[in-house]
Amino acid sequence: MRWSLFLLLSMSVACSFEGKVKRLSETEFTHYYALKPFMSDAERKAYLTLKTEPERNAWLKANGCKEIYGEKECYWERFYKYTDKQRQAILEGSIKTGDWTKEMVYMAYGAPYDSKKAVGRQATRSDKLVYRMEKHADGSILVYVENSKTAYKAVERFTREIILDDDVVAEWKDIGGW
């Protein structure tokens, strides 16, 4: 009984924070969803509980920081280091071979359904990212999310395989069905 009550309370708290996404401006919504795959649950909660857009922007500029080639890069820079055209492509999920990095793929699609080492390739390191995708009647294509309320609207389901050579998209293809 205690465990089920704890689970119910945890789910309701998590849902209440994700419900705050609706109050984000369009700009905030885009960079939040691009950066969400890199954030922990606690970071998403901290971001969404902030009251104003300037507070949330300041949070992105001060959190998720890592050192890259001697430069400090936080969540804000992680998304805005790309050009307007690249950010738009990320938001649309318009993969480009030779141009897109693993980070861009994660921003566009989130974590993959499955990930494997790709063998027999010329790169130092090759990975295959596998995503389950849904096509809806309106033509939109979404990444499948288990228990999603959009799953029943899918008119077609397919798998998108993305091959990364040294963290850059080398090729990708769509395969019918799951």
Residue 4 has pLDDT above 50, yes or no: no
> Cα separation of 16 and 49, whole Å?
10
Instruction: Kindly list the domain boundaries of the chain, sorted by start residue.
Output: 1-81, 98-178
CATH topology of domain 98-178: Beta-lactamase Inhibitory Protein; Chain:B, domain 1 (3.30.1450)
Residue 48 backbone dihedrals phi, psi, to 5 degrees = -75, -20
* pLDDT score, position 139: 86
Residue 16 has pLDDT above 70, yes or no: no
How, if at all, do strands 141-143 and 154-165 pair?
Answer: unpaired
Mean pLDDT of 7-31: 66
How many alpha carbons lie under 13 Å from residue 43 in its C-beta half-sphere?
16
> Cα separation of 64 and 16, whole Å?
23
pLDDT band for position 151 (50/70/90)?
A: low
* pLDDT score, position 6: 31
